[in-house]
Structure 1
Amino acid sequence: MTSLHKVNLPKRSRNIINSKPLILFICMLTFICSTTFAEEQKPDATVENTQKNANKATLIKKPIELTKQHKEDLKHYLAGEQVKPLLAGPDDYLTLVKKHTSANSKGVVILLPEWQQGATNPKAINYLRNALPAKGWSTIAIQPSNKPENYPSTAITVAEQKKENQLILKEYKSKLNSMLNAVMNTAREYPGIVLVIAQGNNAALLVDIYSQDDSLQPNALIMLSSYRQSNHALINSVNENFAHQVASTELPVLDLYLKHDNQLVLNKAAQRKAFSKQEMKVYYRQRQLNNTVTGYYPEEELLSQINSWLKAIGW
């Protein structure tokens, strides 16, 4: 059998072997300390990152209101002599004024687009703004206020919806009334009669205002795709009231809409015509215009309908 002999290692080697536990302990202690330090630094890094994100958030600007965007575009793209400010109480508006270019002046046409639309709305308003001056009309196109916030109401019950809608529209109509008063004063500075051409909900609200205050009435009103927007449960009642107001007013009204139009416009147009017949409203005419693009009026036919109606009532 092979005998086992004790291996004698050098002294230095024995010291290294004996120091291994100490080295392992030091390594473990170093790892624990570094981990603890890193954990202690995390909250500070989180706070720093949060502050950086907050600073970035402050640099992100909120979207500009639609009405303000329209105003800035008008000032930027149109000639300065066309853009005229209009002050109505505490509110300021922009109007686009073009004087007649024909030999004789027939009067002034005030153009009011639908809310959410610009004074250069290509669906009809901008064409009339540029075409009517050659026919003897000076034009004043108004940049309207934005659609009222929170309209229609999001209340749960129909009664609450009706109440909130009335309060919201009361404020909007008050501003619209002040604006109409200011623009009518400007229009009366021109010779001839005053016509108003209005779109959509703004046309319906104008009828409401005119039915309560006839001092603001122009000589005639032309409505383009007019209707009243509201909650589903209130649509029928508000549009029926609108139809009654059109029929009962003595103001001459040309009621135009399109073959391819807003579905609510198409559904409620016949009601206005029927009520006007019942009231034997003399100066009321309703016409449907054929169009290829939904919401866009055929330009030549639109102008032809306006001219023929004005001649029919003596202008």
Structure 2
Amino acid sequence: MNIHKVRYLHFPVYFLIAACTYNILNMSCWAADPASNKLKYHYLPPEEVITIEVGKQQSEVLLKSWVGKKELGTATLLSNPGMSADSAGLQAFLRRQLPHTGWTSIALTPPNKIPTPNFSTAAAEIPKVGQLDNTQINTERTQQFSQKQWMKIREKQEAFIVATMGKLNDIASPYPGKKLLIATNQGAGFMISILSKNLLPKPDILVIINPFMTTSSENQALSTLLAKLDIPVLDIQSPDGHLASQKTITSRRILSPPNEPYRYSQQLMQLNLNHLEAWQTCLDLIEGFSHRINKAYPN
């Protein structure tokens, strides 16, 4: 099979990459605009929406107090970058239902999703294609950021999450008990990375749902980082989880401490997470695992 090579213009492509990277690394707002958040959460009771200062910006935390006689502690939820604290689907379901199982839910606003640079060539530049020497095989994925730039982006995203969680002490103080942390998708990948670096106090229980990271090197490292976390972990995987999360299912299980059900439990779901029944299954798994941990390690 012939491999065709395409010549790329140095200036249009790399200028766009540099401009996009500059905006990302220097953006002052890593969460959605506060004004849009107020409109976004207009349907919620005002007491559920708490505005916090994260660095030089405002962010939103959604609080829903425990209901009934059981008062187990707080359950902090973090979803995918670019999503809201009340994103439709599993996040919104857990945020509303966990209080009925004895957990006060605290849903965080995730950091912004990193925009993808636009590599289209301006019409005026089309006649210049082929005049420069840089070549790339057309089957290779164009590199968006250098490793150094990508590391800085990751540091910004993680710093936003750490700063946000650092604001939760006063919010969570009226709700004593265990601290449950539930993170989904790339948010779960972030939490594994952050906890492995000791950037946050360890929760009493960590729940990860379809965990992954976007680069292959980061994603491959997750299983090892997860195995080193000295906390009870419930690892939930659904059939429709991101392909990157499916690639590490086996390694997450194999590298985990063997024969320690209070340390690590992996649960493979039968239904996709676009089913209400799957949301309820997730809630049941979380409730069951937390009950076992509470019984084994009471406050």
Query: Would you say 1:143 and 2:128 are equivalent positions?
Result: no
Query: Would you say 1:87 and 2:53 are equivalent positions?
Result: yes
Query: Would you say 1:200 and 2:166 are equivalent positions?
Result: no
> 1:275 deviation in Å?
1.3
> Letter of the aligned partner of 1:193 in structure 2?
K
Q: Helix, strand or coil for the counterpart of 1:240?
A: helix
- The normalised TM-score by structure 1 is 0.69
* Equivalences for residues 171-190 of structure 1 within 5 A: 171-190=156-175
More helix per residue:
1
> 1:70 deviation in Å?
6.1
> 1:163 deviation in Å?
2.1
Partner of 2:94: 128
User: Are the aligned partners of 1:111 and 1:197 in contact in 2 as well (CA < 8 Å)?
Assistant: yes
Question: Could you report, residue by residue, the CA deviation over 1:114-169 in whole angstroms, capped at 9, with x for unpaired residues?
Answer: 11222222321111111111111111111222113459xx99679x7322211111
Choose between structure 1 and 2 for higher RCO, CA contacts under 8 A separated by at least 6 residues.
Answer: 2
Question: Could you report, residue by residue, the CA deviation over 1:84-143 in whole angstroms, capped at 9, with x for unpaired residues?
Answer: 112223232111111111113111111111112222223211111111111111111112
User: Are the aligned partners of 1:248 and 1:281 in contact in 2 as well (CA < 8 Å)?
Assistant: no
| Residues 255 and 303 (structure 1), Cα distance of their counterparts in 2 relative to 1, 3 Å cut | same
Q: Which of residues 233, 241, 261 is equivalent to 1:253?
A: 233
> 1:296 deviation in Å?
7.2
User: Are the aligned partners of 1:196 and 1:220 in contact in 2 as well (CA < 8 Å)?
Assistant: yes
Please, which runs of 5 or more residues in structure 1 have no aligned partner? Answer: 1-64
Q: Max radius of gyration: which structure?
A: 1
Partner of 2:62: 96
- 2: CA distance, partners of 1:246 / 1:211: 8
Q: Indicate the larger mover: 216-225 or 272-281.
A: 272-281
* Equivalences for residues 108-123 of structure 1 within 5 A: 108-123=74-89
Question: Could you report, residue by residue, the CA deviation over 1:202-256 in whole angstroms, capped at 9, with x for unpaired residues?
Answer: 21111111112265222111111110112xxxx1x21221111100010211111
> 1:197 deviation in Å?
0.7
- 1: CA distance, partners of 2:259 / 2:155: 28
User: Are the aligned partners of 1:118 and 1:144 in contact in 2 as well (CA < 8 Å)?
Assistant: yes
Q: Which of residues 256, 270, 287 is equivalent to 2:267?
A: 287
User: Are the aligned partners of 1:109 and 1:194 in contact in 2 as well (CA < 8 Å)?
Assistant: yes
Partner of 1:43: none
> Letter of the aligned partner of 1:260 in structure 2?
D
| Residues 281 and 148 (structure 1), Cα distance of their counterparts in 2 relative to 1, 3 Å cut | farther
- 2: CA distance, partners of 1:147 / 1:297: 28
User: Are the aligned partners of 2:66 and 2:100 in contact in 1 as well (CA < 8 Å)?
Assistant: yes
CA RMSD in angstroms, aligned pairs only: 2.9
Question: Could you report, residue by residue, the CA deviation over 1:45-83 in whole angstroms, capped at 9, with x for unpaired residues?
Answer: xxxxxxxxxxxxxxxxxxxx9823861443322121111
Partner of 1:219: 204
- 2: CA distance, partners of 1:282 / 1:78: 36
> Letter of the aligned partner of 2:58 in structure 1?
D
> 1:299 deviation in Å?
2.2
Partner of 2:290: 310
Identity %: 21
User: Are the aligned partners of 2:31 and 2:59 in contact in 1 as well (CA < 8 Å)?
Assistant: no
> Letter of the aligned partner of 1:130 in structure 2?
R
> 1:309 deviation in Å?
0.9
The count of corresponding residues between Structure 1 and Structure 2 is 243
Please, which runs of 5 or more residues in structure 2 have no aligned partner? Answer: 1-29, 118-139
> 1:260 deviation in Å?
2.5
- The normalised TM-score by structure 2 is 0.72
> 1:188 deviation in Å?
3.6
Partner of 2:253: 273
> 1:261 deviation in Å?
2.3
Partner of 2:32: 67
- 2: CA distance, partners of 1:67 / 1:263: 27
- 2: CA distance, partners of 1:242 / 1:263: 14
| Residues 277 and 213 (structure 1), Cα distance of their counterparts in 2 relative to 1, 3 Å cut | closer
> Letter of the aligned partner of 1:176 in structure 2?
I
